A and B are shown apart, each in its own frame.
Chain A
Amino acid sequence: MNRSTFRSSAEASAPLAASSRRRVLGAGLALGGLALAGCAGTATGPSIGRVVVVGGGFGGATAARYLKMWAPNVDVTLVERNPTFVSCPISNLVVGGFRRIEDVTRGYDGLKAMGVKVVQGDVVAVDAAGRKVRLAGGQEIAYDRLVLSPGIDFMWDAVGGLQAAVDSGRITHSWKAGAQTVALRRQLEAMPDGGVFAMSIPKVPYRCPPGPYERACMVAAYLKQAKPKSKVLVLDANPEVQSKKALFEKAFKDHYTGILEYRPNAELKEVSGTAGAMVAKLEFEDVKADVLNVVPPQRAGDIARTAGLVNVNNRWAGVDWLTMESTAVPGVHVLGDSTFSAPAMPKSGHMANQHAKVAAAAIINLLQGQAVNATPVVMNTCYSFVTARDVVHVASVHQYDAKDKTFKTVPGSGGVSAAANQLEGRYALSWADNIWGDMLAV
């Protein structure tokens, strides 16, 4: 077997640059690789393949980083439509006025510095047979392996009038961080004291199960302090709080009694109204709101659909969990929120980062004709702010089950915080700093 091994920490920009050299240990066939490396005269040897990564969020950026770190001689191109990364995690603090959008924004320079080709653009088509993607401008990029990490897109038709209301700026979703986050913050700042902020939560599954409840807390925390006559109305299409239930219910009661009202089984059907006077139509009643924030029902990102990867419930992309390769289209790996989740696996940035590492390891193996890791593990940690300082977590560990070919949580592992606390408030911010660094090499 001609198995090349790479040193760990093989990152050009790190202090361990000396170890970034491709290491070929052993004799026999490995000598061929060594000789070729010598001819090419590069630090990393000849390319072992081209990987194109579409989407520079938690999944895609991590995949690009780890592919390049673990195998410097893989050509990695990351295509992302935005010039910078804006994190959804921690962005609810921006909504609450406790952080600025700049605090949750990072650049792609770290990835560029380690040799990832970063292309700002929009992939509009995948030619799986010809192994290339096409960008909106017509440019084509060839690949040996493609990674799609497009996150979610919205099922606009599920709520009457929603897309027009969002397009016109009357309503925000703020479920993709960036301009939408800032827009919601501005609406809250402009809302009069005594106003009503209503938010709608779709039926599961959706991106970031605890996110809407954290947002409700952050808005309530802001209003409690700045506009105490105001109300927060949480309209949940689900029958109960979907994550960290007891902890959020306690926070609602302890901190926001008289401000925050939680309504289960309140599915949004239609929106109407004008800016500052919106109407949310539920099954049996109309709810008026000064500011209406709607988390729309979601499905796999558009490009996953265009590429023919959506093969579960007409919403999500099924994957082989050993490699994250699509079960619909060979050679294409799908990460993060777009995937049809394994049992009890959340759609989270943390989980997308973990998917990316499984994919990166597998792709490097596959490009070299090696067997992939037969026993991958992924885990999730999610911190939610219930006040500007107090935080609650949920954690889970998922081991691959060879018999059922899926990830399963380990019985007795994982769990939630005993109670909201400020120590985990610090950990939440450190988590963000570490995962942003991990994915973007910044």
Chain B
Amino acid sequence: MRRFLPAAGLSAVLSAAVLVPATVHAQAADPNLARNLAATCANCHGTNGNARGDMKPLAGVPADKIVAMMADYRAGNLPATIMHQIVKGYTEEQVRLIAAYFAAQKPAGKK
């Protein structure tokens, strides 16, 4: 198996994979897809999810929590200034890949 497994991301990736078999397929096709998608968030949420200032850090946040929050933003169930508009530009599968990637990142400053 030659699958992209970010550090400490095994459980997160697997749990996402169990929920959505398509995730496994996407990763097998392009091992960097999750990384590339997550990089689109870094402008606001910091490199690999290590956010500064008032932005929400995503590094190390459990994948299911990120997925649930994104679903709430999408549905308008969570107050937002901008995320409700941004999340609608990503497919649910892309959100799951992004969430798994961030979950696998160690927050900066923690070993």
Q: Using a CB–CB distance below 8 Å, which chain A residues touch chain B?
A: 3, 5, 7-9, 11, 14-16, 19, 25-26, 66, 69-70, 350, 353-354, 357-358, 361, 365, 371, 373-379, 381, 393, 395-399, 409-410, 412-415, 417, 421, 423-424, 426-427, 429-431, 433-435, 437-438, 441
Contacts and interface: CB of A to CB of B under 8 A. Distances in A.
Given A424-B82, A435-B44, 17 more contacts: A5-B32, A8-B105, A9-B7, A11-B47, A15-B110, A26-B1, A365-B32, A371-B30, A373-B33, A377-B40, A377-B89, A379-B40, A381-B86, A413-B85, A426-B54, A427-B81, A427-B82
Nearest to B86: A395
A438 to B, nearest CB: 5
B56 to A, nearest CB: 10
Interface of B: 1-4, 6-7, 30-33, 35-37, 39-40, 42-48, 51-55, 81-82, 85-90, 94, 101, 104-106, 108-111
> Which label, helix, strand, loop or mixed, suits the secondary structure of the A interface?
mixed
Contact of A431 (B4, B31, B43): B43
B36 A427 contact: no
Given A5-B2, A8-B104, A16-B106, A434 B89 contact: no
Contacts of A371: 30
B109 A15 contact: yes
B109 A373 contact: no
A379 B110 CA distance: 29
Nearest to B106: A16
6 contacts: A3-B2, A15-B108, A25-B3, A361-B36, A377-B40, A430-B54
Contacts of A376: 36
Contact of A396 (B89, B90, B104): B89
Contacts of B36: 357-358, 361, 373, 376-377
A417 B81 contact: yes
Contact of B54 (A374, A378, A412, A427): A427
B89 A399 contact: yes
A124 B58 CA distance: 42
A424 B88 CA distance: 20
B106 to A, nearest CB: 6
A437 B52 contact: yes
Looking at A393, A395, A426, the one whose CB has the most chain B CB atoms below 10 A away is A395
A422 to B, nearest CB: 11
Given A414-B85, A415-B85, A434 B45 contact: yes
Contacts of A66: 39
A380 to B, nearest CB: 9
Given A3-B2, A361-B32, A373-B36, A426 B108 contact: no
A413 B43 contact: no
Nearest to B39: A357
A116 to B, nearest CB: 14
Closest 5 CB pairs of A and B: A397-B89, A430-B53, A413-B89, A413-B88, A415-B85
Contact of B44 (A70, A377, A381): A381
Contacts of A438: 42-43, 46-47
Looking at B3, B6, B33, B47, the one whose CB has the most chain A CB atoms below 10 A away is B47
B111 A433 contact: no
Nearest to A426: B54
B106 A9 contact: yes
Nearest to B109: A15
Nearest to A11: B47
A8 B101 contact: yes
A13 to B, nearest CB: 11
A395 B90 CA distance: 13
A421 B53 contact: no
A26 B81 CA distance: 45
A315 B32 CA distance: 34
Contacts of B39: 66, 357, 361
Given A15-B108, A26-B2, A397 B43 contact: no
Nearest to B53: A430
B48 A434 contact: no
Nearest to B33: A373
B75 to A, nearest CB: 13
Contacts of B43: 350, 353-354, 381, 431, 434-435, 438
